[in-house]
Amino acid sequence: EAGVAQSPRYKIIEKRQSVAFWCNPISGHATLYWYQQILGQGPKLLIQFQNNGVVDDSQLPKDRFSAERLKGVDSTLKIQPAKLEDSAVYLCASSLEGYGYTFGSGTRLTVV
Amino acid sequence: KQEVTQIPAALSVPEGENLVLNCSFTDSAIYNLQWFRQDPGKGLTSLLLIQSSQREQTSGRLNASLDKSSGRSTLYIAASQPGDSATYLCAVSRLNQFYFGTGTSLTVIP
């Protein structure tokens, strides 16, 4: 089966600019997750979708981050405006209940 | 709230050694436990998934065990190789909610 697709792989932007990341989960996986992983730390959940509804966005900085899951399939995560501390790897994952996660290869964001 | 801890935080071993990584969790009501490998700046690669009804899973040189009652899992790596150098993370799940451990950074010295 095809894996979780993410793009772009790398992005460098200046602070105060905006950026968007895209994720296409594994076909049939109802649950989609966005994680932020800062260098040297474990992944931190930003938002979890079940189909096109939000299950958990308690750690999403809503003043600058937004996410949507179009028609319960693809998802985009946007940051506007970016800050230096947003430099991290952004990971998308999908899951089928009881079968564990599958992660994409991630997008490395550098804010300068 | 589920808390997942991994010990040690970092480990350095000579090539060829067998080693054990530990993962502990506070709430035993889990559906499954998953071990991942992460190379620097990359995504997470799933290594082994243990369902709550299972005691262990094996893949090649890797063996993962699960003891739900004591809230522990171990990842055993046999005959370690320099290519095994990476960060290893465990995650427990229930109702599609996943909780990650803090990770163990492994270095295998040639």
Tell me which amino acid residue B4 is: V
Distance CA A41, CA A28 (A): 30
Query: What 8-state DSSP symbol labels residue B102?
Result: -
Interface of B with A (CB under 8 A): 31-32, 34, 36, 41-46, 49, 51, 89, 91, 93, 95-98, 100-103
Q: Is A72 left (phi over 0), alpha (psi -120 to 50) or beta?
A: left
Residue pair B61/B78 in contact by the 8 Å Cβ criterion: yes
Enumerate residues 6+ apart whose C-beta is below 8 A from B103.
Answer: A42, B6, B9, B38, B87, B88, B89
**pLDDT for B49-103, tens place per residue?**
999 899 999 999 999 999 999 999 999 999 999 999 999 999 998 877 788 998 9
**pLDDT for B26-37, tens place per residue?**
998 888 999 999
Are B100 and A56 within 8 A, CB to CB?
Answer: no
- Minimum Cα–Cα distance from B39: chain A residue: A105
Distance CA A3, CA A107 (A): 15
Q: Please report residues of A whose CB lies closer than 8 A to that of B41.
A: 89, 106, 108
Average pLDDT, integer, range A10-28? 96
**pLDDT for B88-108, tens place per residue?**
999 998 877 788 998 999 999
Structure tokens at B106: 């492994």
Distance CA B86, CA B92 (A): 20
Distance CA B51, CA B31 (A): 6
Enumerate residues 6+ apart whose C-beta is below 8 A from B17.
Answer: B79, B80, B108
Are A89 and B43 within 8 A, CB to CB?
Answer: yes
